[in-house]
Structure 1
Amino acid sequence: MNAALAHPADGMPAVRGKLTAAAPLAPLVWFKSGGAAEWLFEPKDVDDLASFLAALDPAVPVMGLGLGSNMIVRDGGVPGVVVRLGKAFGKVEQVDATMLRCGGGASGILVSSSARDAGIGGVEFLRSIPGTVGGFVRMNGGAYGREVKDVLVECDVVLRSGERKTLALADLGYTYRHSNLPEGAIVVSATFRGHKADPAAIQAEMDRISAEREASQPLRSKTGGSTFKNPPGHKAWALVDAAGCRGLRKGDAQVSEKHCNFLLNLGNASSAEIEALGEEVRDKVKAQSGVTLEWEIQRVGVAK
């Protein structure tokens, strides 16, 4: 579709980036399953995003998409507009001796590597989260004892109305894997603060984290990462294991035998099968332990 053209017949605003109708989302998410976005918008820059959202019918839902690592896209697809930030939003810049300003589309690997090169420690854990800054900020992403709330100074967002706003850490109301970021808001950048550290020591910590992930997680599979939140006082994987769910299957959807808080698509599993398997696991854990597991994976769109 020609990005320079408006879409008056569809009631869609003009864009300078790329706007695609009925865009398949399965290739863009880790599970490789699910339906299409009604519209997929890849803005050229922040101005393009802000003007598009300002002109878009307020009734049209908007959702951000990063690397699609922690997400089930349901088989009926996602109504409205899915916003995916590209290279223009992937830059990481050093602000001072301990701070980095990172685009909403920058990956955790790029952020942690840039921090290492700048001699900034404290953000090594982002190396282990397969996502982008926008997703980290929205979900208070974390691993290995650290969370985004421990390093975030502020973030710049474009609200659903098209208004640009800078939000401080306190504005986000962070709890475990949750923020109060408004519905439809897109995080376009974030500033993280670490501490001065030796680049070699930072690299050593990143290597330790990488090796630990490799040993314990099914990294080369079609998966969605950690499926359920850790309940207070428990590890989700241990509850799943105790309920006898390690290796449990529904069609081509399976509970990982390597790390049973991960669901896998072994081949051609539908999103419905993956989600139904997750619900079966929740039922079995509830029956076995009395604990109700909460989904950590975001489930979006409509069932087919």
Structure 2
Amino acid sequence: MSASVHMADAPLPPLRGRVQAGAALGPATWFRVGGPAELLARPADVDDLLRLLRRAELPITVIGAASNLIVRDGGVRGIVLRLARGFGDVEVEADGVVAGAAALDATVAEHAAAAGLSGLEFLSGIPGSIGGAVAMNAGAYGAEVADVLDWAEIATADGLLRVRAAELRLSYRRSQLPPGGVVTRARFRAVPGEKAAIAARMAAIRESREATQPVRARTGGSTFANPPGHKAWALIDAAGCRGRVLGGAQVSEKHCNFLLNTGEATAADLEDLGDAVRAAVLAHSGISLEWEIKRIGERAA
């Protein structure tokens, strides 16, 4: 535990994991922007997490790999919860994979491929962790979590629940977790396949990402969800927003549903540019884009 947090004064129970006051969050995000967490908690394991959820006195905000996230410049009040080492295990079974919430999506795909299990290749194209993938029903390359999820274990203030996929009511980029629930691990179905074919599919996904997305830039993945019957990038392009700049933020020239931090962007630059794009698309097409990137915290005073 960080020496800067004295538990007698802090509104959370003693944890075996790490707790930091005023922890910088920006460096942990893919955009590399944003203010600090009032408290950043990284529980050691499920028991530690349950203790925190039962007894915390401040609001809790959960972050994962922070790949699809803007932390606003004023930082985040309360407790920011990030699952780390104790939640990263990946277990391969005969017909599926059980993965901790902190395991990266790509890592799960690689474990399945090494075991000759097919059906999870699409996870290699999603830049995030399993907890976030379940919480937002992440998808790419023609598949989504709803297609392969058996169950998720979810920590709540009342205890640990194992919830069947159907109970989560997974829909496009959404799930209905229990109130205050935190995904701790999940099981994904897979089927035996030819290792060479699985490897080829994953290689094709990597090549497609490299060719069409700004994967080496400071970005946050897809900015807006695709409206029914439309592609967000095409609406943005048609509205004349490809390459649009605001401060240190830019709409990617390569894929205009991606925002970029060109080097000196603030979180406000990115969010304001995103809102300007939404306004331009609405004016041009009459379609309202919904943010896919999660935005947390407060704007700078």
TM-score (ref. length: structure 2) = 0.97
The 5-angstrom pairing of residues 34-183 of structure 1 reads 34-57=34-57, 60-95=58-93, 97-159=94-156, 161=157, 163-183=159-179
- Residue 94 of structure 1 deviates from its aligned partner by 1.5
Q: Is 1:247 equivalent to 2:243 in the alignment?
A: yes
Q: Is 1:31 equivalent to 2:36 in the alignment?
A: no
Structure 2 gaps of 5+ residues are none
Identical aligned residues as a percent: 50
Can you list the C-alpha shifts for 1:23-69, whole angstroms capped at 9, x where unaligned?
11001101111111111111111111111221212xx2112211101
Q: How many residues align?
A: 299
Q: Is 1:261 equivalent to 2:257 in the alignment?
A: yes
- Greater CA drift, 20-29 or 180-189: 180-189
Can you list the C-alpha shifts for 1:204-237, whole angstroms capped at 9, x where unaligned?
1000000000000001111110001111111100
> Cα 1:183–1:248, aligned 2, differ >3 Å: closer, same or farther?
farther
- Residue 8 of structure 1 deviates from its aligned partner by 1.1
Alpha-carbon distance in structure 2 between the residues aligned to 1:62 and 1:19: 13
Q: Is 1:228 equivalent to 2:224 in the alignment?
A: yes
- Greater CA drift, 44-53 or 14-23: 44-53
- Residue 2 of structure 1 deviates from its aligned partner by 4.2
Contact 1:109–1:128 (Cα < 8 Å) also in 2: yes
Contact 1:119–1:197 (Cα < 8 Å) also in 2: yes
- Pairwise CA RMSD of aligned residues? 1.3
Which residue of the partner structure matches residue 12 of structure 2? 12
Alpha-carbon distance in structure 2 between the residues aligned to 1:286 and 1:171: 34
Which residue of the partner structure matches residue 292 of structure 2? 296
Q: Secondary structure at the match of 1:27?
A: helix
Aligned-partner residue type, residue 113 of structure 1? E
- Residue 182 of structure 1 deviates from its aligned partner by 3.1
Aligned-partner residue type, residue 108 of structure 2? V
Aligned-partner residue type, residue 141 of structure 1? A
Contact 2:2–2:20 (Cα < 8 Å) also in 1: no
Contact 1:63–1:184 (Cα < 8 Å) also in 2: no
Alpha-carbon distance in structure 2 between the residues aligned to 1:63 and 1:188: 15
Structure 1 gaps of 5+ residues are none
Aligned-partner residue type, residue 42 of structure 1? R
Can you list the C-alpha shifts for 1:172-212, whole angstroms capped at 9, x where unaligned?
11110011113432111000001111111111100000000
The 5-angstrom pairing of residues 273-284 of structure 1 reads 273-284=269-280
Alpha-carbon distance in structure 1 between the residues aligned to 2:248 and 2:178: 35
Contact 1:92–1:111 (Cα < 8 Å) also in 2: yes
Alpha-carbon distance in structure 2 between the residues aligned to 1:2 and 1:286: 47
> Cα 1:67–1:201, aligned 2, differ >3 Å: closer, same or farther?
same
Alpha-carbon distance in structure 2 between the residues aligned to 1:49 and 1:175: 27
Aligned-partner residue type, residue 290 of structure 1? G
Q: Secondary structure at the match of 1:259?
A: coil
Of 257, 267, 283, the residue aligned with 1:287 is: 283
Alpha-carbon distance in structure 2 between the residues aligned to 1:183 and 1:83: 15
Alpha-carbon distance in structure 2 between the residues aligned to 1:44 and 1:253: 36
Q: Is 1:192 equivalent to 2:224 in the alignment?
A: no
Aligned-partner residue type, residue 200 of structure 1? A
Q: Secondary structure at the match of 2:220?
A: strand
- Residue 10 of structure 1 deviates from its aligned partner by 2.1
Which residue of the partner structure matches residue 238 of structure 1? 234
